[in-house]
Structure 1
Amino acid sequence: MRFPPIRSGRLIPLVALSLLALFAAGCQREATPETATPTARPETAVSAEDRDEHSYAEPEKVVIDDLALDLALDFDSKTLAGTATYTLDWKDDGATQLVLDTRDLAIEQVEGQTDGGWQPLQYTLDAPDELLGSRLAIETPERNALVRVTYRTSPEASGLQWLEPSMTEGGELPFMFSQSQAIHARSWVPLQDTPSVRYTYSAKIASRPDVMVLMSADNDPAAERDGDYAFEMPQKIPSYLMAIAAGDLVFQPISQRAGVWAEPATVDAAVAEFADTEEMIRTTEQLYGPYRWERYDLLILPPSFPFGGMENPRLSFITPTVIVGDKSLVSLIAHELAHSWSGNLVTNASWKDMWLNEGFTSYVENRIVEALYGKEIADMEFVIAREGLQKELADTRSELQVLAVRPGDARDPDDTFGAVAYDKGAWFLQFLEERFGRETLDAFLRGYFDHFAFQSISTATFVEYAKAELLPKKQDAVTEAELEEWLYEPGIPASAPQVLSPRLGLVDSARLAWLGSEQLPPQSMTAEWTTQEWIHFLEGMPETLTLEQMSQLDTAYGFSDTPNGELAMRWYPLAVRSGYAIAYEPMSAFLQRIGRRKLIIPVYEALAQSEEGLAFARRVFERARPGYHPITTASVQKTLDEAKPKPAPAVTPPPESEVEGDTGADGTTPQAPPAG
């Protein structure tokens, strides 16, 4: 998954979810404990270090080898309903129970296949834990090879979003899509919802015939809409990579193995923006080995998608907010593609080891960007990411500043989705590159992806492999103490290599000159700036500016009306802090149009600093809520609920009657609009 940090610019949500799970109905025997604490699981031989604390599953006893779905997709009821059939691989000769993760699922029937056909099985659905959902324990005294669960999702499933036609680009057909990472797959399929379990899957999906249904599987570019769809995923994947979407979707190719699915009004712009996708695939293959997933397609989702991208195999989900017309934000595509090696192919065994997914991917992403767009651009992105990491560390608990998070330190797996996993992880790999040389590290990584292909591993497994296959390549290049510090100590080690960007240095000089003289940099300079340079220009501003300074910038560059979300997420908080009232109407429209958490949470956080701003934020949120994904809704609600506003506002926001969704700023014509 890719999303620069909320406080800087990488893509990482800092707001932990607090989604309240509801009681699921329809079980044969339902446990009714007095509290919502999940029933304790029996002790096993699995160590506390290895156990995935965010799943009830017991993969040391039995694992799902294959999943077959047969579901009806109903836009009217906003549900998926049908059966999930599991082919099981029993690991423990004494095990007679299958434990699955669920959240808000109505379990209607559980059956096991025997010589006499399908027979009912007894099961217990525990009361829900607010984070983990409900433990589904199925009694299997005959250790059935096949078990089938009939179930129905909730309209409020945390991993699904259902959009009315008015919330789509075309405005005629409804839209739905899933977001399974980190532990939301359990809200639409009962599963062993842990990255340590990988399985193949197939699916039959029935829907209304005027929408196209897609999954993270073998989507046929020539498929016709007929309401009856079948999918196969022959490569084993973990549950968080299972995905589904349905809507007014058409396909356009980029190459023989890559293309774009999108709404008709969006597809042409997306194909033009992401035209380099095939070259990205070839570049990564040259570095790290063959692409093993056959096709690589992009699905452009509505603006309510809560993240920048999601690396669902064969079908990356992509936010439309990176389509800005100049390819300045296509590093997100490089990131999601890189996951085809780091994350999808070699997967962290639990979310405690998130850096194995995101740190490796961020490093590979930067190598792709360098190969295609040059070292200057790659270095700028490294600098921006690391500046964001340093800011985030100031507000991050020390136990979450380590790459390998200890058991119990991340109550919510989303706690690990921060700049530490992404940017400290990538920084560590750059440290290894500096010590061993790029050629040696590339050979090691290629061997690593081959050796652990289609496996889920822990940090300890990586360390063991590195000690065997990398460290001996150059004796004393990295000491045991340095390795331990990078992986298990908070903060940034003193050994971290420093990347400088001369182009960002010029931006710093231009900003300082303006702050000192009120003379804006010449248009001949800013006309060539990329989004990265404009990001750096805004991020380096003082906490507040005068109204005159804000007006000067807005008149020159049109920041209040920018279509570039990366710039909007930095400009609007500055406008709030500076009392720049002109920005409030376009800010309101932005918050109601965009559901990507990384772009909107900083704006809500800034508004929540004052009582009047908080009241304004709540009014906007009520209007925006119907178009937000459940994950986004929970994050915004948490931000507003936990706000501690100051009584004196910087500016009085407009009254409720002026909170509209499609208004402009002050009508000025920007003289030198920023890239995108």
Structure 2
Amino acid sequence: MYLSRFVIMLSFIVALVAGQPAQAEDVHSYARLNQVSTPHLELNLTVDFEARQLKGHATYTLARHDKTTQLYLDTSDLTIERAELLIDDQWQPTKFTLGDVHPSLGRELIVDIGSVAKQVRIHYQTAPTASGLQWLTPEQTAGKKHPFMFSQSQPIHSRSWIPIQDSPALRLTYNATITTPKGLLAVMSADNSLSDERPGTYEFAMPQPIPPYLIAIAAGDLAIKSISENVAVFAEQYILEDAAWEFADTPAMIETTEAMYGPYRWDRYDLLILPPSFPFGGMENPRLSFITPTVVSGDRSLVNLIAHELAHSWSGNLVTNASWRDLWINEGFTSYVENRIMEALFGERRANMELALGYQDLLDNMELLKPQDTVLNIDLGTRHPDDVFSQVPYVKGQLFLVYLEQKFGRDMFDKFLRQYFEDFAFQSISTEQFKTYLKRQLLDKQPDTVTMSKINEWLHEPGLPEDAPKPTSDAFTQVEQQMQRWLKGGQLQTDKWTTHEWLHFINNLPLDISANNMARLDREFNLTNIQNSEIAHAWLKLAIVKKYEPARERLRSYLLTIGRNKLVSPLYRELAKTSDNLKWAREVYQQAKPGYHPLTQTVNEALLYGDN
């Protein structure tokens, strides 16, 4: 099932020999990859919880592509102590300069590398406020005894904890030595040991070339439980057994995806369950996906998130967007593959529900966006990619691929995708490169099926094309029929409902639902106290709209204990619509803020204080 490391190495060596793909211009990086690139990193860092800093040095192997004598790197809030060059087996000091601070891009670091040095070393330390790191006190963890630290590098936050050419157009391998306080376990997006020993110094290697945003680190009081020979869960002890049970289907997901789209090329696929403050559902760091605990629901109803992060092992980690305006190449393909995994393992009914829910989310999201921000190949300018994060690259990108599947047939489209992942393995590509490849490998072979003008409409025009797929679900039709009966005083038959059916039910209740019916629904199903975080989110959002006061304390508790942006920011947005709720939301936010990730803070402060 798993390729040998030799075959893996050979596959990307062949790609390099064939020549690197043309790179899209990356306006979000100071790196000049056409002059000098850094194909390998040696990282040596000490984790200092008291100072909330990483301290150490980064050593790069230099690949020179012209006669330049300067290396351009990205930094953000880093203190650069000194730079050195390896010349004649001796480390010698060299000059460096830092540019002005840019609000989105951080600071350019220019290092003099001369004409003969093959390696450069930069000694530095991070700031306690690094945007790509979160530091939790022992009291903010479940165990209450040890602190916890984790990174979130995507999209351009690697530069806040490593001086680096922070562009997805770069691919590099890395080794790392990480030192932690005694009793803590360090893990990375690399070859993690399954040993329970905690020596305080840990060695890592990532032999496959990855983009910088996939370099990841965490340290805390972690326990380990294997699910299979090649899959394990890392987590705090309180959630370890539950998470291992919840995600027991992960090995089957790997086998299913391999059968459709080719071999898994990353040796292991482990899962790190993070504290609730993690700002996303998951992060596809290779070999060790970072996962929110909010999907440990006790019924395996939210494991499509695991399917999504696993799918990134093909779409995103293996074939990567060359710049952040090409994010759909990562997320659209991944959302498509995710749904195919869910269909293969859990049936068409469940896959259709998830596709329909995603479509509803996309339509709702696009109502909040400017038309130019609903374009797949989006023009970001120098706006921070976080500022335009939306469902568009995910679901519109997914629907684009569903459209192609419907037009060309599943068999032909699957063969296309499998070859696509093979031909671009361990490379970063642009939208224009994809279009060229699509035309050659699919459109030209089936003329008059889909025109290039239609492809351009999908990729370069706002909104959805008129003939875009409009996913529906028969299961949701039945939910809506039950809803109408219930609103007239009937009973709901929910024994076989999944999370998806509950979400559709709550999200589609009429906004003029009576206070009596809100209370009745809560009384019959205890929705205010439900532990499924997705259903609770939908119910609490409706409770804000309907001013359903019995849910107010649960809303407070929810906002204080969960930091996943998808779940908290829509609640803050709804609260911000009235002056009384806004005042209350600001009070709750100030209590919650110390436990929120910097990214969560940025998003929600814009909602709550944007007019100040």
User: Whole-Å Cα distance in 1 between the matches of residues 258 and 438 of structure 2?
Assistant: 22
Q: Does 1:528 align with 2:496?
A: yes
State the partner residue of 1:154.
Answer: 127
Paired residues of 1:209 and 1:228 also in contact (CA < 8 A)? no
Paired residues of 1:203 and 1:230 also in contact (CA < 8 A)? yes
2:31 aligned residue (57, 70, 77): 57
| Deviation sequence 1:512-568 (CA, Å, 0-9, x none) | 2333x13342xxx21110000000001112235332121111111111111112112
Q: Which amino acid aligns with 1:132?
A: L
State the partner residue of 1:636.
Answer: 604
Q: Does 1:518 align with 2:496?
A: no
User: Whole-Å Cα distance in 2 between the matches of residues 262 and 270 of structure 1?
Assistant: 8
1:354 aligned residue (294, 310, 327): 327
State the partner residue of 1:494.
Answer: 466
Q: Which amino acid aligns with 1:290?
A: P
Q: 1:116, CA displacement in angstroms? A: 6.3
State the partner residue of 1:301.
Answer: 274
User: Whole-Å Cα distance in 1 between the matches of residues 117 and 26 of structure 2?
Assistant: 25
Paired residues of 1:608 and 1:643 also in contact (CA < 8 A)? no
State the partner residue of 1:220.
Answer: 193
Superposition pairs of residues 25-64 of structure 1, within 5 angstroms = 50-64=24-38
Superposition pairs of residues 199-598 of structure 1, within 5 angstroms = 199-222=172-195, 224-406=197-379, 408=381, 411-515=383-487, 517-521=488-492, 525-598=493-566
State the partner residue of 2:168.
Answer: 195
Q: Which amino acid aligns with 2:303?
A: V
Q: 1:128, CA displacement in angstroms? A: 1.3
Q: 1:407, CA displacement in angstroms? A: 5.5
Q: 1:245, CA displacement in angstroms? A: 0.4
Q: Which amino acid aligns with 2:406?
A: E
User: Whole-Å Cα distance in 2 between the matches of residues 250 and 588 of structure 1?
Assistant: 30
| Deviation sequence 1:153-194 (CA, Å, 0-9, x none) | 011111111111111121111111000001111000000011
Paired residues of 1:173 and 1:248 also in contact (CA < 8 A)? yes
Q: Which amino acid aligns with 2:590?
A: E
State the partner residue of 1:674.
Answer: none
Q: Which amino acid aligns with 1:628?
A: Y
State the partner residue of 1:627.
Answer: 595
Give the match's secondary structure for 1:448.
helix
Q: 1:417, CA displacement in angstroms? A: 3.0
Paired residues of 2:225 and 2:234 also in contact (CA < 8 A)? yes
Give the match's secondary structure for 2:368.
coil
Give the match's secondary structure for 1:246.
strand
Q: Which amino acid aligns with 1:597?
A: N
Paired residues of 2:359 and 2:470 also in contact (CA < 8 A)? no
Q: Which 10-residue stretch deviates more, 494-503 or 159-168?
A: 494-503
User: Whole-Å Cα distance in 2 between the matches of residues 346 and 437 of structure 1?
Assistant: 23
544 and 307 in structure 1: CA distance in 2 versus 1, 3 angstrom threshold = farther
Paired residues of 1:354 and 1:416 also in contact (CA < 8 A)? no
Q: 1:50, CA displacement in angstroms? A: 2.5
Paired residues of 1:352 and 1:416 also in contact (CA < 8 A)? no
Q: Which amino acid aligns with 1:580?
A: Y
Q: Does 1:617 align with 2:592?
A: no
User: Whole-Å Cα distance in 2 between the matches of residues 245 and 49 of structure 1?
Assistant: 31
User: Whole-Å Cα distance in 2 between the matches of residues 144 and 277 of structure 1?
Assistant: 45
1:87 aligned residue (56, 61, 83): 61
Runs of 4+ in 1 over 3 A off after TM superposition: none
Give the match's secondary structure for 1:526.
coil
Q: 1:643, CA displacement in angstroms? A: 5.8
Q: How many correspondences in the alignment?
A: 591
RMSD: 1.4
Q: Which 10-residue stretch deviates more, 120-129 or 595-604?
A: 120-129
Q: 1:573, CA displacement in angstroms? A: 2.0
State the partner residue of 2:15.
Answer: none
Give the match's secondary structure for 1:306.
coil
Q: Does 1:67 align with 2:41?
A: yes
User: Whole-Å Cα distance in 1 between the matches of residues 591 and 203 of structure 2?
Assistant: 37
Q: Which 10-residue stretch deviates more, 296-305 or 550-559?
A: 550-559
User: Whole-Å Cα distance in 2 between the matches of residues 68 and 520 of structure 1?
Assistant: 63
Paired residues of 2:301 and 2:498 also in contact (CA < 8 A)? yes
Paired residues of 1:197 and 1:238 also in contact (CA < 8 A)? yes
Q: Which amino acid aligns with 2:40?
A: D
166 and 544 in structure 1: CA distance in 2 versus 1, 3 angstrom threshold = farther
Greater helix share, 1 or 2?
A: 2
State the partner residue of 2:11.
Answer: none
Q: 1:80, CA displacement in angstroms? A: 0.4
User: Whole-Å Cα distance in 1 between the matches of residues 570 and 83 of structure 2?
Assistant: 45
| Deviation sequence 1:291-343 (CA, Å, 0-9, x none) | 00000000000100000000000000000000011110000000000000000
Superposition pairs of residues 133-172 of structure 1, within 5 angstroms = 133-172=106-145
Q: 1:611, CA displacement in angstroms? A: 1.5
Paired residues of 1:596 and 1:632 also in contact (CA < 8 A)? yes
Paired residues of 2:479 and 2:501 also in contact (CA < 8 A)? yes
Q: 1:222, CA displacement in angstroms? A: 2.1
Q: 1:250, CA displacement in angstroms? A: 1.2
User: Whole-Å Cα distance in 2 between the matches of residues 128 and 546 of structure 1?
Assistant: 53
State the partner residue of 1:4.
Answer: none
Give the match's secondary structure for 1:51.
coil
Q: Which 10-residue stretch deviates more, 170-179 or 306-315?
A: 170-179
State the partner residue of 1:43.
Answer: none
Paired residues of 2:502 and 2:535 also in contact (CA < 8 A)? yes
Q: 1:49, CA displacement in angstroms? A: 9.2
User: Whole-Å Cα distance in 2 between the matches of residues 157 and 545 of structure 1?
Assistant: 45
Q: 1:117, CA displacement in angstroms? A: 1.3
Q: TM-score, normalised by structure 1?
A: 0.86
Paired residues of 2:23 and 2:430 also in contact (CA < 8 A)? no
383 and 539 in structure 1: CA distance in 2 versus 1, 3 angstrom threshold = same
310 and 541 in structure 1: CA distance in 2 versus 1, 3 angstrom threshold = same
Q: 1:396, CA displacement in angstroms? A: 1.4
Q: TM-score, normalised by structure 2?
A: 0.95
User: Whole-Å Cα distance in 1 between the matches of residues 122 and 227 of structure 2?
Assistant: 40
State the partner residue of 1:97.
Answer: 70
Give the match's secondary structure for 1:245.
strand
User: Whole-Å Cα distance in 2 between the matches of residues 636 and 296 of structure 1?
Assistant: 33
Q: 1:416, CA displacement in angstroms? A: 4.7
Paired residues of 1:383 and 1:501 also in contact (CA < 8 A)? yes
Q: 1:115, CA displacement in angstroms? A: 1.8
User: Whole-Å Cα distance in 1 between the matches of residues 561 and 406 of structure 2?
Assistant: 43
Identity %: 50
User: Whole-Å Cα distance in 2 between the matches of residues 407 and 624 of structure 1?
Assistant: 31
Paired residues of 1:351 and 1:416 also in contact (CA < 8 A)? no
Uncovered stretches (5+) of structure 2, i.e. residues with no partner = 1-21
Q: 1:432, CA displacement in angstroms? A: 0.7
Uncovered stretches (5+) of structure 1, i.e. residues with no partner = 1-47, 645-676
State the partner residue of 1:117.
Answer: 90
